[in-house]
């Protein structure tokens, strides 16, 4: 799906169930993902697992079909102000404070 100098994001399929997941692999700390393991928020994908070893992190998360925020911003479907307002509305119900 996506590759950068910092890591990769891949769409994977569970062999037995056929279910799709996102697998993130990156250099760095997975702490923020570990904090989301117990978060049940309708505006965020479910984080199923977050692990790290020797500076490399792996995160398994729910696959949600649809346009990415990057796509919506790239094609200027929303202004920066509209995007900011939308992200504030999305984060609030999850218990996250937004500036």
Sign, CA dihedral 4-86-37-14, equals: negative
pLDDT at 47 over 80: yes
For residues 35-53, give the mean pLDDT: 90
Both tokens of 99, joined, read: 């500036």
pLDDT of residue 98: 47
Least confident span in 4-18, 20-34, 39-53, 84-98: 84-98
Tell me the mean pLDDT in the region 52-67: 92
For residues 66 and 42, give the distance between their C-alpha atoms in angstroms, rounded to a whole number. 15
The model carries a pTM of: 0.71
Quote the radius of gyration of the chain (alpha carbons, Å).
15
Q: Which contiguous run of DSSP H or E holds residue 34?
A: helix 31-36
pLDDT in tens, 14-23: 999 999 999 9
DSSP state of 30: -
């Amino acid at each position: 799906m996506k590759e950068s100098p910092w890591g990769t994001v891949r769409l994977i399929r569970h062999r037995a169930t056929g279910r799709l997941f996102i697998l993130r692999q990156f250099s760095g700390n997975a702490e923020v993902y570990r904090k989301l393991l117990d978060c049940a928020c309708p505006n965020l994908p479910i984080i199923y697992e977050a692990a790290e070893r020797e500076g490399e992190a792996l995160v398994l998360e729910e696959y949600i079909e649809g346009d990415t925020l990057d796509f919506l911003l790239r094609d200027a479907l929303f202004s920066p102000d509209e995007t900011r307002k939308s992200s504030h509305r999305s984060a609030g119900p999850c218990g996250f404070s937004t500036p």
